[in-house]
Amino acid sequence: MALHEPMTAAGHGELARIGVVVSHGFSGSPESVRPWAEYFAGQGFAVNMPLLPGHGTTWEEMARTPWQHWYTEVERAYFELSAQCDRVFVAGLSMGGALALRIAEHHPVAGLALVNPALAVVDPRAKLAGVMRHVLKSTPAIGNDILKPGVEEYAYDRTPVAAVAQLMKLIKDTAGNLPKVTAPIMVFQSTVDHIVAGSSADRIRAGVSSKDLHIVKLANSYHVATLDNDAPEIFERSTAFFKELAGVHNS
């Protein structure tokens, strides 16, 4: 399979009509969440993992892509699964977590699994990206924040400043509508993350209306935890969470 390919998988067994949308993050690619999507598929879930517009090509193309296009692609995956499934869950890494929350703000979602969701970023310059983009096209890459040696997420080698400005708009829009989220949520948060600020989980906890909210700390992974040392725990716990919510208890 070529890098950056999206992925769909039909459900089977008891989970045949239970869907999971899986979204990668900002400047990354489906490779960062492919093992997670494949794990869900192996368990029997119907899976749709899109390639976000402006990703998997060049950072220059990403610089020309408005955030609404990223959201619309995840929403399209959600609609596709909704047409064939009784329930649809949404899982996301980093910006994919923000997109998952926005889906839950506007559509019925059975539950969310979020890995280091991006509702606040570490780099203070991000807030100035809307101005900086006029004088600075790109900055060094933010990809591959992974503790485990020798692992590659296949993100861009430069970060387009114009796209950072779009990310900040997405974060503002999503954070402002968090009270609309009522779906159960499991957040996986790395104790050391050089990209997303720890306050992201605090914003979710304070903002959503969900009564069922779990924060799982990851002590042995950096930002791209779905490819890091704690990946097996993420896969197993998110799957068990979704199965419980779906009323399926197969092994």
Q: Which residues are catalytic?
A: 94, 193, 223
Model confidence pLDDT, tens digit, residues 83-92: 999 999 999 9
Report residues of the chain scoring pLDDT below 50.
124, 126, 128-131, 135
Name the residue with tokens 């368990």.
Answer: 43
Distance CA 221, CA 231 (A): 8
The span from the CA of 208 to the CA of 210, in Å, is 5
133-190 confidence digits (pLDDT tens): 554 567 776 778 999 999 988 888 888 888 888 998 999 999 999 999 999 999 999 9
Closest C-alpha to 117, from 209, 239, 208, 1: 208
Tokens of 19: 């869907």
Helices 231-246 and 34-43: crossing angle, nearest 10°? 40
